[in-house]
Amino acid sequence: DGGITQSPKYLFRKEGQNVTLSCEQNLNHDAMYWYRQDPGQGLRLIYYSQIVNDFQKGDIAEGYSVSREKKESFPLTVTSAQKNPTAFYLCASSTGSSPQGLSPFTDTQYFGPGTRLTVL
Amino acid sequence: GQNIDQPTEMTATEGAIVQINCTYQTSGFNGLFWYQQHAGEAPTFLSYNVLDGLEEKGRFSSFLSRSKGYSYLLLKELQMKDSASYLCAVRDLEGKLTFGTGTQLKVEL
């Protein structure tokens, strides 16, 4: 089955520790994204990657880091510099971020199941 | 940048029709998406509009007016399983999505 997987579903960490959230996709998608979701707020873009070995900061990148060494994988590290890390983290992928919007089905973002991170 | 507004909550009756509105102000528009999200789960894609007009997909329809910066999602023949949050998202000219805060729909008997 093709899809996007995130693990674990629930994650607990002590304050001051770095933690890495995994995101894997076997859809052969070029673009991958990380969002954060907090109660009463919309999804906010943390980082995105349009191609292997390249990534860009989103709207709230401070305190986070990513890597894109393989097309299938886009792990997110939540560092101790992130002041409010407790949130629901969602990974997404799409065939490509096309500025011309060729088709909704080539550029639609599909989401993984999410990881709920709680920092104690 | 993008600014997206949608109602926080709505309640409707099973079997009825409900319309969820979304208004946006944008510096560059390249499509509007609707997603459904059940509590604790991932958003799932419902519909996409880039040209003015109505897109119909089964019980769900979505409308767009670019001149008014306005879209709505229409759900017909409501079922209990339609109780969820509905997210409006606007894509800019770089392909990035900006999401609204979501409308929590409650379907009652």
Quick: pLDDT tens for B57-72. 899 999 999 999 999 9
Percent of chain A with pLDDT over 90: 72
Residue A104 confidence (pLDDT) above 70: no
**With bands split at pLDDT 50, 70 and 90, how would you rate the model's confidence at B107?**
very high
Mean per-residue pLDDT for A14-42?
A: 92
CA dihedral B91, B31, A103, A48 (to 10 degrees): 10
pLDDT, position A42: 86
- Residues of chain B neighbouring A112 (CB-CB closer than 8 A): 42
Pair of tokens at residue B68 = 């008014």
Residue A64 confidence (pLDDT) above 80: yes
Residue A39 makes CB contacts below 8 A (sequence gap 6+) with: none
Is the bond leading into A104 cis (omega within 30 degrees of zero)? Answer: no
> Quick check: A107 and B95 CB within 8 A?
yes
Pair of tokens at residue B73 = 């999602």
Q: Residues 1..40 of A with a Cβ closer than 8 Å to B: which?
A: 31, 35, 40
**With bands split at pLDDT 50, 70 and 90, how would you rate the model's confidence at B88?**
very high
Least CB–CB distance from A108: residue in B30, B45, B99 = B45
pLDDT, position A1: 60
Residue B94 confidence (pLDDT) above 80: no
